[in-house]
Structure 1
């Protein structure tokens, strides 16, 4: 398998999942601005949508969209417990979490990275993210991970999103539950390995 990624962006979440599952993967770095791939090649030929993550299977099949890729990885290694079994209420709860993270947190961050976004709008987005962080803090209260005692693909996704606060003028210390949670995720060996492979840790 080959994971097309850019350091520190949302492709970090499936990268973490792959390492948590103990699956071998080839990493292909992508410049998401120029659409060029490290070593040559046009990324748009792999994913016409123009963004990562992309997981290319050994038979050439291409999967896009982080939450889908994460579930595929989890289902390849069910013993990793990165996702509850398909068809269970727990699996639907996981999908509920992934949908929330994708639409209500991930997409809200996007305009904060664009220099053309008006400052007033950025302030409104930070307020909205604060409300989402309030909700997530209550969901994590008294729990080690989002789904309870088991680390899942949702945790790798939330960890990735929380990491973006350092570049968007959001002080995560305002949400101590989330700050502590992020530190717990960061300490996991698989997460450390993913961060190092992407050049995010020395």
Structure 2
């Protein structure tokens, strides 16, 4: 497998998950402004979407979209998912919420929003994170073991920390536990984030 990522982007979640799974994989960075990969390739020749993550499987098949990539990883490495009849559904529910309600709300911070837009986004993000904080089940978001949803949440909490967005108290312990995990440390170092 080969993961195309941009340092600090949402693709970090898949990067962490693959390390956590302990599976061999390759990585290549992408400059999202030029759409050029670290090896000088045209990223839009890999995916016309032009954004990360992009996961090329061993058979050459391409997966894109963070939820799909993370669902694939959890399906292949069940320790990163949830058990039970509703496990996969609950995991996708959490991934979709993080994607649509938290991730997308950072847009004013990345796209040069006004101070008023950033302030409104900050309050909205904290409120949406509070919804998750109120439902923490164990040491991590959905259980006592981290899932791919935790790794996606980690990315958004790193962004919150960067932009001084308040992270609810009940998520701060989850955030600290995630940052201390060896797989997270490896991915953060690889992406030049620590």
TM-score, with structure 2 as normaliser:
0.94
Please give the alpha-carbon distance, in whole angstroms, between the structure 2 residues aligned to 1:132 and 1:11: 21
Among candidates 79, 82, 85, match of residue 84 of structure 1: 82
Structure 1: how far apart are the matches of 2:162 and 2:111?
Answer: 11
Instruction: Please state whether the residue corresponding to 1:139 is helix, strand or coil.
Output: coil
Aligned pair partner of 1:138 in 125, 134, 141? 134
Which of residues 156, 160, 166 in structure 2 aligns to 1:165?
A: 160
Q: Which runs of 5+ in 2 are unaligned?
A: none
Who is 1:47 aligned against? Answer: 47
Unaligned runs of 5+ in 1: none
- Report the alpha carbon displacement of residue 177 of structure 1 after superposing the two structures with TM: 2.0
Q: In structure 2, which of residues 170, 173, 176 is the aligned counterpart of residue 177 of structure 1? A: 170
Q: In 2, distance between residues paired with 1:4 and 1:88?
A: 32
Post-superposition Cα deviations, 1:22-56, rounded to whole Å, max 9, x if no partner, equal: 11111100001111111201111111111100000
Equivalence map 1:54-133=2 (5 Å): 54-78=54-78, 81-84=79-82, 88-115=85-112, 117-133=113-129
> Residue 89 of structure 2: SS of its match in structure 1?
helix
Partner SS for 2:40: coil
Whether 1:191 aligns to 2:184 is: yes
- Give me the whole-angstrom Cα distance separating, in 2, the residues matched to 1:83 and 1:190: 16
Report SS of the residue matched to 1:161: helix
Q: State the Cα distance separating 1:118 from its structure 2 match.
A: 2.6
RMSD: 1.5
Shift of 1:113: 1.3
Do 2:13 and 2:151's aligned partners in 1 also have CA atoms closer than 8 Å?
A: yes
Deviation at 1:102, TM superposition (A): 0.6
TM-score, normalized by length of structure 1?
0.90
Distance 2:130 2:3 in 1: 33
Query: What secondary structure does 1:63 align onto?
Result: strand
Q: Quick one: distance in 1 between partners of 2:147 and 2:77?
A: 12
Residues paired across the two proteins, number: 194
Report SS of the residue matched to 2:63.
strand
Q: Report the secondary structure of 2:41's partner residue.
A: coil
Equivalent residues of 2:133, 2:170 under 8 A apart:
yes
| Matched-pair contact (CA < 8 Å) for 2:74–2:80 | yes
